[in-house]
A = this chain, B = another copy of it.
Amino acid sequence: MSKATRNSGPDELELILRLTAKLPVGDSVVVGAGDDCAVIDAGVPGLWQLHKTDAVVKGIHFTSDSDPRQVGHKALGRAMSDIAAMAGTPRWATVTLGLPDGFDAQRIESVYDGMAALAQRHEVSLVGGETVANPDRLFIGVSLVGEVERDKCILRSGAAVGDGVWVTGELGGSIAGHHLAFTPRLAEARWLAARFKPSAMIDLSDGLAGDLGHLLNKASAGAELLESALPIRREARLRARESEAAKPPLLAALTDGEDYELCFTLGQGQAVDLLDRFKQEFPDTPLSCVGKIVRQPGLKIRQKTGLMEIPTRGHVHFQ
């Protein structure tokens, strides 16, 4: 099972909106709740800090069959993906382990090994943590503090009518394995911010329809996607072929979640130059222009048969 099969329901979304509406924040908070990370002016000359917290939970984000090293990789990688979405560099992580009754210490150590390996690769310091009891299941909370040059930070807001909509990698069918083994797009995001400065960016964790929806809400605009341009993951097509109960591939690409890819917007004049230089710099990372920002609110997708409207919130209705 994965988050892909249990997206946030409307109750949860409404609750978050109600909770975050009344959070106390001081002057040092550049961007509070509502973006991929909080953006903090902590007094570091030239830099902003990015604060993020996230968790993976057994039975939701991984199962007892999952490779524990991959579970650790995922736990830290998810938070890294949010730092990437703001073109930041992850620096310091703390971990809260909720340990189930009769936990397997060796398995927990492997979780940590997976986390430590990813941390090391990105020069992130694991600076501490805490264990508490969570009797029924393993709960791995990760808090990550990163930093970004003040003039390079990219927010969810800023998309403009006419901008192209871009995604890295492939979408859908993540549950077949990608969700445990993805590479957070840190290098790509920093390169993009330095060379092209996207107008808005988000990481794809809840599916393109929902996450692009956040960019559209911030911009009070809409988007028109092109079905033939969507980079649908092979596994999403395979699953659809193998089971009638599986989502059609297009729907999987739009709503599966856990892609951990970047979705960003950029003025169309730069499209050719971007494609060209990105391919040279990151030959192994697919990059696709999948549509454009339009004035009319809402998300639409152009298919051979015409234009179809896609809900951007409460994508559980799809299922």
Contact = CB atoms under 8 A, between A and B. Distances in A.
Contact of A109 (B19, B26, B37): B19
A134 B57 contact: yes
Number of copies: 2
Q: How large is the interface on A (under 10, 10 to 19, 20 to 34, 35 or more residues)?
A: 35 or more
Given A19-B112, A129-B53, A132-B60, A143 B94 contact: yes
A23 B116 contact: yes
Contact of A24 (B25, B126, B139, B147): B126
Contacts of A317: none
B133 A136 contact: no
Nearest to A47: B43
Interface in A23-79: 23-26, 28-29, 32-35, 37-38, 40, 42-45, 47, 49, 51-57, 59-61
B105 A11 contact: yes
B38 A94 contact: yes
Nearest to A122: B24
A134 B132 contact: no
Contact of A133 (B6, B95, B132): B6
